[in-house]
Structure formats: C-alpha cells, structure tokens
Structure 1
Amino acid sequence: MIDPLMTLDSAERECLVDEFRACLERAAAPRETWPEAHDEAPAAEPPAVDLATLLSEMAVLKSELRLQSRQFKNTLEELRLFGNDLRQHGERLQRDVDRAREQAAAIQGQTEKKFLLAILDLRDRLQSGVDAAGRPPASLLTRLVPGPTRFAASLAEGLRLTLQRLDDLLSSHGVRPLQVVGEILDPQRMRAVGVEAGSDSAAIADGTVLREVQRGFFHDGDLLRVAQVIVSKKANRK
C-alpha cells in the first residue's frame, strides 16, 4: 500500500517545512515579541505541528536526494564512458588519416619516379642523337658536299640545346647525374655491363669505371637509376 505522504509534490513539502521552521522560531522567541492582537480580531493561534507528517516528509526528501545522487553518479559514469569512446574513436581516426597520408605519399612517389624514368629514357635518346650527329661523316662524298654536313651540324646543335634544356628541367626537380667515371665499381649505384682489358703498364685498378653506357641519376638524394658502366680489367700476363 502506498503511503499518502509519499504522494505530496515538492511545493507542498516546502510549504510544510516553512511552516515548521516558522513555528520553531516563534516558540524560541520571547513572548513579548509576539505580535499583539488587533482590536477587530483576536490573534491567530500558532498552527499545530504534526511531527509525524514532518518526519515523513523529511524521509521522502532524503530518499529523493539519495535517488538523485545515484542518478547523477550514473550520468557521470555514462559521460566518462562516452568520453573514453570518443577519445578512442579520435585516435583511430588519426591513425587512419596518418595511414592515408603515407599511402598517398607512396603513390605520389611511385608515380613521380615512373614519370622521371620516362623523361630519362627520352634524355638517353636525345643523347644518342647528339652523339651520332657529332661523329665525322663516314663517306668521302659526304665530306665533299658541304650542304648535308651543315644540315647535320644544325640538327646536332638543335638536339644539344634540347638536351641542355631537358637537363636543366631535371635539375630543377632535384634530379642529379651520378659521377662514376674513374671510381671503383659500386654495386649499390652501378652495374657493370662490360669490361675492357688494360695494358700491363696502366696504373688503373681492376674494377675502375672507364666510361658510362647509360648514365645513372639521383633524385633528392635517393638513387633513381643505376649507372650502366664499362669497367677495367688488366690483361693476363703470359
């Protein structure tokens, strides 16, 4: 069975508490300070205090405070758990963003490397054209007729200027050639594609790079393409 005192709302409980407080204050004050009765109406008697009702109301208030305190603790715990979940979600999101940036950087690096290697292949073709145009004419007829010779020289000069422009463009993007001629073969940067025997009197150590077949390049300090070289090898003594 539900106690009817538990069904009072908060306004009624506050009214009862105020009346109890006022009653206690009047009881504790000297009788001389009590308000005098008016001529037209006798002074009202202090209302009777129902201690059982007051104690019941105080018990209800205490129970409600305990319930609200428990609800507040539950709310704080839920907020703490939500904060942990939010922090973990943020950490996972940050890891995903970092991983995506690394993948994007790797893809960009691979794409850039492929593009630069294609440019270097074009450079090799231009270099071959410049080298071929710079060779002297093989036949006597070609040497006697100056017209084709002048045309070939003009063509060679155009190829040389184009090659120079391409080298400047590569240099502006951090592409630098390897300097390998005269050095000992380094497998990390060079690949030997042939050997040439030197004379017995030659003061060149075995494995020294004599010339390049295909030039190697660096890109921003990293090896972009190995150099293909011809190295020396002393002839065997008989």
Structure 2
Amino acid sequence: MTAMTPVLTDLQTLAPTALAGQERERVERLVEEFRAYLEDAAQLPEPGDAWDGDDLESTAPAVDLSTLLAEMAVLKNELRLQSRQFKNTLDELRCFGNDLRAHSERLQEELERAREQAASIQGQTTRQFLLALIDLRDRLQSGVDAARRPPSSFLERLLPGPTRLAASLAEGQRLTLQRLDELLAGHRVRPIRVVGETLDPQRMRVVGLEAATGSAAIPDGSVVREVQRGFFHDGELLRIAEVIVSKKANRT
C-alpha cells in the first residue's frame, strides 16, 4: 500500500493541471475506485504466508457415512418399486394389446362373413331378377310365335282387318322381345344352344321323345326340338333347357 501512495499523489497532482470540468471529476472518481481496490487487496494474505484451513473446514458440511448408506438404501427401494410398477404397466399394456388384436381379428372375420352374405344376397337377387326377365321373354316369344302362324279358319282369312291388327301387335311384341334380348345380353346372359346337340344332363332336361325315321340322319339321343330355352349367366347355368330328343323306332 505504501508503494502505491506516490502514484496516487502524482495522479491527484496532475489531475487538476491537466484536466478541467467533467474530465477532472471522472479522473477523481477513477482514483477513488483504484484506492478502494488497493485497500481491499492489502487485506489478502501474501503468497508466502501460511494458509489457515480452519475456516474452509468449518464451512464444509460433515459427511455422515450411515446417513449416506441410509439414503442409498431408500433410493434402491424406490428404484425397485418403480421397476415393479413399470413391469406391471408393461404387462397390462401387453394384455391390452392381445385383447385388441383378438378383437380386431373377430371384427375382420365378421366383416368377411358380412361381405360373403352380401355377395350371396346380391347373387340371389340378381338371379331372381334375371329369371323374371327370362319368364317375361318366354311369354313374349309365345305371343310372337302364335302371331306367325297362318289363320286357321276361313273367316279369319276372309276378314283382313283383324289379321293386320294382329300382325301389328306381333311386330310390337317382336321389337319388345328384341329389346329384352339386348337387356339380357347386357347382363351377360346368353342362351344355350341345344338343337342338334347330344343330350347333356347337366344343362338339359328331357321332356319328350321323338321317334326318328330310318332314313333320318339324326343320331339317337340328339336334341331335335327345344321346348324351353336354357340360359347361362357369367358362364354358370342360370336355367336348364327343356328339350325333346330323338329315339330310333324299334324294328320288328
């Protein structure tokens, strides 16, 4: 501190001569701060002085080994409890996941069954609708065939008026029948060709026999006439055909 005193004196001596006004006040404030710093530094021990460690030891808390072990035991118990709770939670989550998986599988099975039932109901409904259209076609076909037959009585041939009216009605039925065939074809319904074919029990039903003459070239068991037309729908049998097959007459 005594070594720094001349420096402070020189600063105080030079300050009034070199500076004025605010600069002078600022220098004096700096000098006062520097003096306070030197006074605080003088109170610190010199590097060569002996260090007294009693103060530091007195401020440091004492470590109790038994307390430390007790705290470690409590911490261990808490960790064991947390681990048990975590394991229980994990088991519950696993059970919940298994239940959820089983429930999802049941829902998937029920959905598949519902789809199959819906497809079956739709197939049955479509089949009934197509059979109803085919029945309507049979009725129209019967009307058209009846109109094509020539008049059976002399009175009908004599009066052309009713004949022309019947012909116009038959033409209307024919056009309706043609439109109905187009509608069936649009639903992938096609007729079964049976005339001239060999009898197939899978798609034909015999409703009559017709004896073939000896000169006829029709093989025995062949279809000679169709009574009711059969139909396929998407390659599957929709309605079986009713046919009359040939049978050679027994010769005596």
- Structure 1 residue 203 corresponds to structure 2 residue 202: no
Equivalent in 92, 110, 129 of residue 96 of structure 1? 110
1:1-238 correspondence to structure 2 within 5 Å: 42-43=55-56, 44-238=58-252
Give the match's secondary structure for 1:192.
strand
How far apart, CA to CA, are the structure 2 residues paired with 1:141 and 1:45?
Answer: 143
Aligned length in residues: 201
Query: Could you tell me how far 1:225 is from its partner in structure 2?
Result: 0.3
Give the match's secondary structure for 1:210.
strand
Q: Which amino acid aligns with 2:128?
A: K
How far apart, CA to CA, are the structure 1 residues paired with 2:197 and 2:118?
Answer: 38
Give the match's secondary structure for 1:160.
helix
Counterpart residue number, 1:3: none
Pair member with larger Rg? 2
Give the match's secondary structure for 2:59.
coil
Counterpart residue number, 2:36: none
Q: Which amino acid aligns with 1:233?
A: K
Query: Could you tell me how far 1:141 is from its partner in structure 2?
Result: 2.2
Q: Which amino acid aligns with 2:105?
A: E
How far apart, CA to CA, are the structure 1 residues paired with 2:174 and 2:221?
Answer: 31
RMSD: 1.7
Query: Could you tell me how far 1:45 is from its partner in structure 2?
Result: 3.0
Q: Which amino acid aligns with 1:56?
A: A
Identity of aligned pairs, percent?
Answer: 75
Query: Could you tell me how far 1:234 is from its partner in structure 2?
Result: 0.6
Residues 135-190 of structure 1: CA deviation (Å, up to 9, x unaligned): 00011221122212211111111110000001111110111111111111111100
How far apart, CA to CA, are the structure 2 residues paired with 1:67 and 1:81?
Answer: 21
Counterpart residue number, 1:25: none
Q: TM-score, normalised by structure 2?
A: 0.76
How far apart, CA to CA, are the structure 2 residues paired with 1:45 and 1:108?
Answer: 92
After superposing on structure 2, the runs of 4+ consecutive aligned residues of structure 1 that deviate more than 4 Å are none
Q: TM-score, normalised by structure 1?
A: 0.81
Counterpart residue number, 1:7: none
Give the match's secondary structure for 1:193.
strand
